[in-house]
Each structure stands twice: as structure tokens, then as C-alpha cells.
């Protein structure tokens, strides 16, 4: 995995912290004002989305949208949830639902809006491996919503799929891996925030980070 890929992964996982809500009026309602709960991006909810729905019908299923945006000049509506984002296009007859895209760290999936409910739910379920660090357990289930461990009730962790996690049975290797992983994640966060002060090598991610801003006067002279 390249450094750029890692950083775009980081950017995609930090989506919930995204841009400020802009007030937007739809059918006379100010939908930008109250945004108390995150949208429901679970397969049971997304499986209910079908072609021909109005924006308000989609909102009734998913929750209030974050804001309408433009993609290549086309307007779409975005819902930003914990660990994922949903984009919906309303290009059907009378401005109705025509396309929905679900984004999570590992995949950008166009959702099926026709077919049986069972097929639609299956289509919008993106399976991921979740890890409960504390209980040393591994689960394979939907990327959304983030998995809460059934035993200790803490939110489980997932890693980019290129990264190999030792099996939970090798307890020492497991514990060491997660300690190192968390330390490297913190360094990536510091890098993203422009707070990294020195070069570091990330063993697990396999990349080298350099501070974005060099010390004053650190501009290199180039010969021409
Ligand atoms: Zn647990």
C-alpha cells in the first residue's frame, strides 16, 4: 500500500468530522438546523431504498441529509455517518431517487434499488473483519454500523485490508500488534493535522512520514 493510499484511507475514515453543516431549505423546512443523531447506514435501513423515492422518503429511512453537493456538475445529497457516507442522486421521473452510492474505507458500492428486499439488503452489506482488542476476538460482519463487541461492549477496530493482524490465539503478538498499531495511527493523525515534528517510519503501515512544514528557513535551494 502506498503512502498516498494510506492517507486517502485516513481521510475517508475521518469523514464524520467533516465540513460544517450549511443551512438548506427543502419544501419550506430548514433541514440544516437540527442534526442531533447520525444517519442510519445499516443494511436493514439501506435495503429499504428503492427507485422512485423522493428525497423526503429517503430521509424518512436514513435520517436527515448532511447537505446537497455537486459531483461533476450533478447535484447529490450526502449523508455522513460514523465510518461511512451515502450519496443519493434524484434524476428519476419528477426528481426521484435514481442512484445511491455507499462509501466505506474499503469500497465504494452502487446500491441495488430494484429486486427483492433480501437481495437489496445483501447488496448493501459490506463485510469486514472487526477486532475486539480487549477480548482478543475477531468478527466478520457488516462495516456499518461500527461493530460493538457483544462481550465488553466496546467499539471494535478494523484495519486496512492489506495489513495482516496476528491471530488472537497468539496473545503476545496480538497485544504487541495493537499497541504498535495505535501508536502509528496516532502518528498518522498528527501528520494529517500538520503536527508531526520529525520524520518517522511506520512499521505496520510501511510508510515514512515527513513533517509537512519544515523548520523556518528550511527551504531548500535548488540549482538551475
Ligand atoms: Zn470485547
Place of cell 477496530: 157
Tell me how far the alpha carbon of residue 218 lies from the centroid of ligand 1, in angstroms.
47
Tell me how far the alpha carbon of residue 99 lies from the centroid of ligand 1, in angstroms.
37
Partners of residue 66 on adjacent β-strands: none
d(CA 79, CA 62): 8
Q: What burial class does residue 101 get, using C-beta atoms within 10 Å of its C-beta: 0-12 exposed, 13-18 middle, 19+ buried?
A: middle
Task: Name residues whose C-beta falls within 8 Å of residue 70's C-beta, 6 or more positions apart in sequence.
Answer: 76
Tell me how far the alpha carbon of residue 55 lies from the centroid of ligand 1, in angstroms.
38
Give percent of the chain above pLDDT 90: 68
Instruction: Answer whether residue 28 shows pLDDT above 90.
Output: no
Task: Name residues whose C-beta falls within 8 Å of residue 152's C-beta, 6 or more positions apart in sequence.
Answer: 132, 134, 135
d(CA 99, CA 199): 44
Supply the DSSP symbol for 83: T
The answer, as to whether pTM is greater than 0.75, is no
Domains of the chain and any CATH numbers: 19-123 (3.30.1450), 127-209 (no CATH)
Whole-number Cα distances in Å, 192 to 5, 83, 107, 127, 154: 13, 18, 22, 27, 26
pLDDT digits (tens, 9 = 90+) for 128-174: 999 999 999 999 999 999 999 999 999 999 999 889 999 999 999 99
**Would you place residue 214 in the very low, low, confident or very high pLDDT band (cuts 50, 70, 90)?**
low
Tell me how far the alpha carbon of residue 155 lies from the centroid of ligand 1, in angstroms.
8
Tell me how far the alpha carbon of residue 60 lies from the centroid of ligand 1, in angstroms.
33
Tell me how far the alpha carbon of residue 126 lies from the centroid of ligand 1, in angstroms.
21
Amino acid at each position: 500500500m502506498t503512502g498516498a493510499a494510506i492517507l486517502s484511507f485516513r481521510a475517508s475514515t475521518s469523514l464524520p468530522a467533516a465540513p460544517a453543516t450549511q443551512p438548506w431549505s427543502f419544501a419550506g423546512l430548514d433541514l440544516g438546523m437540527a442534526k442531533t443523531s447520525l444517519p442510519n447506514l445499516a443494511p436493514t435501513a439501506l435495503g429499504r431504498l428503492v427507485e422512485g423515492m423522493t428525497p423526503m422518503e429517503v430521509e424518512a429511512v436514513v435520517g436527515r441529509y448532511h447537505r446537497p453537493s455537486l459531483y461533476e456538475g450533478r447535484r447529490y445529497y450526502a449523508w455522513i455517518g460514523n465510518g461511512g457516507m451515502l450519496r443519493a442522486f434524484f434524476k428519476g421521473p419528477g426528481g426521484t431517487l435514481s442512484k445511491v452510492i455507499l462509501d466505506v474505507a474499503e469500497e465504494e458500492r452502487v446500491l441495488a434499488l430494484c429486486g427483492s428486499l433480501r437481495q437489496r439488503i445483501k447488496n448493501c452489506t459490506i463485510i469486514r473483519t472487526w477486532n475486539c482488542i480487549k477480548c482478543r476476538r475477531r468478527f466478520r460482519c457488516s462495516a456499518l454500523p461500527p461493530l460493538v463487541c457483544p462481550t465488553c461492549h466496546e467499539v471494535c477496530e478494523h484495519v486496512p485490508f492489506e495489513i495482516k493482524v496476528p491471530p488472537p490465539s497468539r496473545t503476545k503478538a496480538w497485544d504487541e500488534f495493537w499497541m504498535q498499531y495505535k501508536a502509528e495511527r496516532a502518528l498518522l493523525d498528527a501528520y494529517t493535522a500538520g503536527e508531526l515534528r520529525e520524520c518517522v517510519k511506520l512499521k505496520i503501515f510501511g510508510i515514512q512520514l515527513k513533517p509537512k512544514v519544515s523548520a523556518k528557513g528550511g527551504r531548500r535551494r535548488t540549482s538551475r
